[in-house]
Amino acid sequence: MTDTEPFNEMLGSDGEPRAPYKALADWFSGMTPAEMRRKSREAETIFRRLGITFAVYGTSEATERLIPFDIVPRVLAAAEWRRISAGIDQRVRALNAFLHDIYHRQEIIRAGRIPADLVVQNEAFLPEMIGFTPPRKVYAHIIGTDLVRVGEDEFYVLEDNTRTPSGVSYMLENRETMMRMFPELFQQNRVAPIEHYPDLLRETLESVAPETCDAQDPTVCILTPGIYNSAYFEHAFLADSMGVELCEARDLFVEDGKVFMRTTRAPERVHVIYRRIDDAFLDPLTFRPDSMLGVPGLFDAYRAGNVTICNAPGTGIADDKAVYAYLPEIIEFYTGQKPILQNVPTWNCARDDDLAYVLDHLSDIVVKEVHGSGGYGMLIGPTASKRELAEFKRRLKANPSNYIAQPTLSLSACPTHVASGLAPRHVDLRPYVLVGDKVRITPGGLTRVALKKGSLVVNSSQGGGTKDTWVLED
C-alpha cells in the first residue's frame, strides 16, 4: 500500500463529515448494526428475486451470481460532478474525432503526434473500416469512463471503455432498490435522477440511424450473444426498458444489403443495432468464419449505409491500453485544449526504458495486459506474493509489448457496510456517456467497491461490490 491514508470521501481531515455527506452520515449513525444487517439482507433478496445476476467465467458451480450491493450510497457534490462531466465530454469528443481520423486521413500520425505502429499494428485496428464514415461521424456511442479519485480535487481516468461497457443496469437497479428501501433518504437529499437513462439511450441510438432511413421511427434492436453471456441480464433489461427487441444473431438476416428481424409475421427492417457482441463475432463473412454468433452479410449492409452498428466496429482501438497512454496528446490535438481529467501515468512495457523501470519496481506498481479486462491477468505489486512477482517477471520479459504498468494509486475510500458496522473501502466510478446527435451524460454512474479490507480490486469478477451513486443538485 501507499504510505499515506487514502482520501476518505465521507470524513474530512478533521474527522467531520464532508458537506455532501452530512445528511447521510446522520442517517446512518442513527441506525443500529442489527437494522443495517436487516436492510442489507433485504436488498440481497430483492436482487436475487429479480434475477439481477452476472455469470463468472471459469467456474462450473453457480455460474450465475449476484454482485454484492452495498447499502451506503456514494455521494458527489454538484460542483464535483460538473468538473467530471466536462472532462468526460471533452474526452469522448476527442476519442470520436480520433477514431474518425485514424480510419481516414490519419492526420495525427502525419503530424507525428503518435507513432504509426500504435495504430496500424494494433490488433484492435480494423482495416475494413478505412474510408467508411458512420452517421454523424460517431464511432463510440456508448462509453463507460472508469475514474478513480485520490484526493479532494484529484480524479484520474483509468480507462475509456469504448467497446461494450457493461454495468449500467446495476446503476439503475441500485437506485431503484435504494428508493424502495430508503424513501426518507431521498426526501432529505436532492439526488439527481437517473431513471431516464433508457430513454436517453434510445434517443441516442435513433439519432444515428442511417441517413438513408426513410422510416419515421427507426427500428432499434439489441444484439446479444444469448442467455449464457455474463451480461445477459443487462441486455434484456435495456431492451425491456427501451421497448426494443432483444435479438440473437439467428433472429437477424441480411437481404438485398438490408438487415431484417425474423418476426412472427413478415420480416421487419432493422435500422440501428446496439450490439453487445465483439467485433470478431459480428459477421462470419467478414470476420470469423467459425463464429456461430454473427449475422452473415451484416458488415456489408453496414458499409452500404443501410444499418448502423453501435458501437462501430473497430472502436476498440480507442480503449486500447497502449493508445490510452497517448490520450493527453489526442485530446490536445483534436480539441486544442488541455485535458480536464488526467490520465494515470503509464509505463509502456514495449519501450525498453519503461520495461527496465517496471521490472525494477514490480512490487510497488500495477501491471495490466494491454488487451485484458475485468481484472483478469493483472498484477498488483504491493499485495503480490514472491512467487507471483517472479512469475510476472518471467511473463513480462517474454512478451513485454503485451503489458503496461501504472503506479499503485491510493484509491479514495467510502463508508461501506461490513460485519463490524461501517468501514472505509476503496471505490472507483464508471459514469455512462452517450454520444449521438449530442453528448448525454447520466449524473453519477456505477460505483464499484472493493469489499475486502485494503483491497484495491473493485471488479465484480474479483469479489467487488457496487453502490448507488448520488450526484446532489445545487
Partner 1 sequence: MLGRTAASLYWTSRYNERAENMARLLEVGYRIAMTPRLGQDHSDDWRSTLVSAGCDGAFFAKYDDPSKRAVVQHMLFDRDNPSSVRSCIEAARNNARSVRTAITGEMWESLNTTYLEFLDIRPQHMTDNKLPDFLAWIKQRSMLFRGAMLGTLMRDAGYHFSQFGAFIERTDNTARILDVKYWILLPDNEVIGGDLDRYQWTTILRSVSAHRSYRHAYRDAQVRPFNVAEFLILRKEMPRSIAYCYDWIAESAAALAVRYHDSPVSCDMAQGTLSLLEDTSMDRIFQGGLHEFLTDLIGRNNALGAQLAADYHFS
CB of 47 to partner 1, least distance (A): 11
Q: Locate cell 446496439: which residue?
A: 274
By CB under 8 A, name the one of 38, 137, 196, 250 that touches partner 1.
250
Nearer to partner 1, 110 or 262 (CB): 262
| Of 3-11, 145-153, 259-267, 290-298: span binding partner 1 (CB under 8 A) | 259-267
By CB under 8 A, name the one of 247, 362, 409, 451 that touches partner 1.
247
| Of 44-52, 68-76, 270-278, 358-366: span binding partner 1 (CB under 8 A) | 44-52
- Strands of 344-420 (E only): list them: 347-348, 365-369, 379-380, 403-407, 413-418
**CA proximity to 337, closest of 90, 83, 79:** 90
| Of 184-192, 243-251, 283-291, 394-402: span binding partner 1 (CB under 8 A) | 243-251
Taking CB under 8 A as the rule, does residue 60 contact partner 1? no
| Of 4-12, 49-57, 109-117, 338-346: span binding partner 1 (CB under 8 A) | 49-57
Nearer to partner 1, 23 or 46 (CB): 46
Taking CB under 8 A as the rule, does residue 50 contact partner 1? yes
- Cα→Cα distances 195→173, 201, 444, Å: 9, 11, 12
Which residues on adjacent β-strands are paired with residue 407? 365
CB of 247 to partner 1, least distance (A): 7
By CB under 8 A, name the one of 1, 19, 35, 48 that touches partner 1.
48
Half-sphere exposure of 113 (CA within 13 A, CB side): 18
Q: Which amino acid is at 445?
A: G
Nearer to partner 1, 239 or 341 (CB): 239
| Of 79-87, 240-248, 277-285, 413-421: span binding partner 1 (CB under 8 A) | 240-248
Q: Locate cell 498484477: which residue?
A: 379
Nearer to partner 1, 48 or 110 (CB): 48
CB of 267 to partner 1, least distance (A): 9
Nearer to partner 1, 239 or 450 (CB): 239
Question: What is the DSSP pairing of strand 446-450 with strand 421-430?
Answer: antiparallel
Burial of 406 (0-12, 13-18, 19+ CB in 10 A): buried
Half-sphere exposure of 358 (CA within 13 A, CB side): 30
Nearer to partner 1, 208 or 239 (CB): 239
Footprint on residues 445-464 left by partner 1 (CB under 8 A): none
Taking CB under 8 A as the rule, does residue 179 contact partner 1? no
**CA proximity to 149, closest of 2, 9, 22, 21:** 9
Taking CB under 8 A as the rule, does residue 59 contact partner 1? no
By CB under 8 A, name the one of 33, 51, 115, 421 that touches partner 1.
51
For residues 111 and 107, what is the distance between their CA atoms, to the nearest angstrom?
A: 6
| Of 69-77, 233-241, 273-281, 450-458: span binding partner 1 (CB under 8 A) | 233-241
For residues 335 and 114, what is the distance between their CA atoms, to the nearest angstrom?
A: 16
Query: Is residue 17 helix, strand or coil?
Result: strand
Taking CB under 8 A as the rule, does residue 262 contact partner 1? yes
CB of 240 to partner 1, least distance (A): 4
Q: For 374, list phi and psi in degrees, rounded to 5.
A: 70, 15
Taking CB under 8 A as the rule, does residue 246 contact partner 1? yes
Omega of the bond leading into 311 within 30 degrees of 0 (cis): yes
Which residues on adjacent β-strands are paired with residue 261? 252, 268
Burial of 26 (0-12, 13-18, 19+ CB in 10 A): exposed
CB of 419 to partner 1, least distance (A): 24
CB of 68 to partner 1, least distance (A): 17
**CA proximity to 444, closest of 237, 174, 184, 70:** 174
Taking CB under 8 A as the rule, does residue 231 contact partner 1? no
| DSSP per residue, 51-73 | T--EE-TT--S--EEPPPEEEEE
Nearer to partner 1, 198 or 210 (CB): 198
Nearer to partner 1, 48 or 190 (CB): 48
| Of 30-38, 209-217, 232-240, 371-379: span binding partner 1 (CB under 8 A) | 232-240
Footprint on residues 71-90 left by partner 1 (CB under 8 A): none
Q: Locate cell 506474493: which residue?
A: 385
**CA proximity to 308, closest of 215, 198, 240, 229:** 215
By CB under 8 A, name the one of 103, 237, 347, 403 that touches partner 1.
237
- DSSP symbol at 415: E
Binding stretches for partner 1 (CB under 8 A)? 48-51, 226-227, 232, 236-237, 239-240, 245-248, 250-251, 261-265
